[in-house]
Structure 1
Amino acid sequence: MTLRLSTRISIRWANDAPSEPTDTVVLSVGDYFMDLRITKADQSIDWAFAGTREILSRDPHEGKFQPLPNGDDLEIGYMPCAEKGNKVTPYEEVWRELQPNHGMNRGWILQGKIDDDDVFLGQYGGIYLAMRQAKEGVFSVLKEELTNVQGRLQWKSVYLSGDLKLPSLSSMSFISLPEEEKWRVGGRAVFDGQVYKVRALETRGEKKTVKPRPSRL
């Protein structure tokens, strides 16, 4: 089972000093992920991907993880560096796992279409991401966070880029989607009137039941 919300603390290219030019959040549920990196300097999208982990293997991006004494994870590897002319360069990234807020221990990732545009939606730990890409390459991203406003939990939009319409939790009057407890991986889910496929669904602390194989004796 994979259910993780993480942020990048720093990146170091070759012998450069470590820095963190982005506000990064990675949502991992089952075999799927959503990765959003927003440039701090101008709030532009530095990186936005969604799909299965196998997609990452298509790029020259090779990294290995090792735990650090403080609980963070150090990733060491090689990948193209834009600041160095996209030359494949050694890098070190420090990652930190974020704990789920407000009891939001259930994570999911949905995939579907809006007007023939590819759409990914994901939520875990009080973080909601929505990504939409048109065939022409036009891209829109939405990030929302569950916050406590005068003792009441509400979804708040914290980042929006692009002109394509995206499903929003903050525009609804509930915290979790109706029928969410009935969702199953590979099944259908309805969000804002649109039908999506449930690509990944996990609950923190929930143990998977393994069916015993029939005995041949």
Structure 2
Amino acid sequence: MASISIRESIRWLPDPASEPTSTVVLTSPGRRFVDIRILSDVAAAGGEVPAAGLDWAFAGYSHSEARDGARHCVWRHFVDSRSTVADGVADEGVMFPAEGGRALETGRMVNPATGRETDYEEVWVDEDPQGSRCVVLELKNDERSERGMVVCLGGYCQGVVRKGEAFALERWQRVEGDGWKRVAYIGVLGLPCGEAMKGTGLVVGGTVECEGRVWNVVEVCDL
């Protein structure tokens, strides 16, 4: 099931909840996702994001299963802004239904402010992507240290790419009456977000070329 998840708050126990970022996670029906977290004031300004303005960005594959009225979720990273080698990096959390159709995620991970593993709570709200098209493009060329993923879903398109030490991301939003706008980006590596947003002629098993890098079309579907 596809989802557009927007984080409303994070709480590092026992501190109070807050939301220092603009965090959007796009997840395809095939459970591929792109998760981009930009500091709120930087995201509000739009345009190029300075290195200090990025909290975290990563992409990969998710899995969940029902357990005792909740869902245990695992997000395995394929590309990560914090690591040149994402293999083996994974997050785990437990999702509980919350008030107003929201979801409460609980778990334990490293608090970047302290560098220590800490219990956390995150509150998420989902936007309904039904009636939209989902396109997923994936780059994997480990001989050239190149990996990337683009997910276009509903009114959002997000992509991340890494080539060795170089990392780049883009976030696009569709503005009513004004079309697609690139609202945030980092780095100079090209991403095929334009092709994903157009979707013209894309079929699963096909390819898209961007700056000499060949991206695979891994998902195309109408929701």
Normalising by structure 2, we get a TM-score of 0.74
Determine if the alignment matches structure 1 residue 163 to structure 2 residue 188. Answer: yes
Residues 117-161 of structure 1, C-alpha deviations (whole Å, 9 max, x = no match): 3221110002111212111x2111111111223xxx521110011
SS, match of residue 113 in structure 2: helix
For structure 2, list consecutive stretches of 5 or more residues without a partner in the other structure: 43-48, 63-74, 78-86
Of 71, 93, 96 in structure 1, the residue corresponding to residue 125 of structure 2 is 96
SS at match of 2:175: strand
Distance change in 2, residues 1:31/1:175 (3 Å)? closer
Does structure 1 retain, via aligned residues, the 8 Å contact 2:137–2:149?
Answer: yes
Amino acid across the alignment from 2:201: E
Q: 1:200 to 1:177 in 2, by over 3 A?
A: closer
Residue in 1 aligned with 2:33? 33
Count how many residue pairs are aligned between Structure 1 and Structure 2: 189
Larger Rg over CA atoms: 1
- Matching of residue 178 in structure 1 with residue 200 in structure 2: yes
Alignment CA distance shift 1:175-1:197 (3 Å): closer
User: Counterpart of 2:167?
Assistant: 139
Quote how far apart the aligned CAs of 1:76 are.
1.1
Instruction: For 1:63 and 1:78, locate their aligned partners in 2 and report how far apart those are by CA, in whole Å.
Output: 8
Please give the alpha-carbon distance, in whole angstroms, between the structure 1 residues aligned to 2:60 and 2:120: 23
- Is 1:199 aligned to residue 218 of structure 2? yes
Q: Sequence identity of aligned pairs in percent?
A: 31
* Alignment-mate amino acid for residue 72 of structure 1: R
- CA RMSD across the alignment: 2.8
Displacement of 1:58 after TM fit? 4.3
Tell me the residue number matched to 1:75: 105
CA 58–88 in structure 1, closer or farther in 2 if over 3 Å, else same: farther
Q: Indicate which of 50, 54, 67 corresponds to 1:45.
A: 54
1:128 alignment counterpart = 157
Match of 1:63 among 79, 93, 97: 93
Name the aligned partner's letter for residue 159 of structure 1: A
Displacement after TM superposition at 1:90 (Å): 0.8
DSSP 3-state at the match of 1:122: strand
Shift of residue 107, structure 1, vs aligned partner: 1.1
- 1:195 and 1:188 map into 2 onto residues whose CA distance is 10
Q: Residues 13-32 of structure 1 correspond to what in structure 2 (within 5 A)?
A: 13-29=12-28, 30-32=30-32
Task: Note the alpha carbon deviations across 1:55-75, whole angstroms, 9 max, x for none.
Answer: 259457432111112100001
**What is the rounded CA distance, in whole Å, between the counterparts of 2:214 and 2:89 in structure 1?**
31
Unaligned residue ranges in structure 1 (runs of 5+): 205-217
What is the TM-score when the length of structure 1 is the normalising length?
0.76
Q: Aligned partner of 2:198: which letter?
A: S
Over 3 Å counting, the alpha-carbon distance change for 1:189 and 1:75 in structure 2 is same
- Residue 147 of structure 2 aligns with which residue? 118
C-alpha distance in 2 between matches for 1:61 and 1:195: 28
What's 1:188 paired with? 206
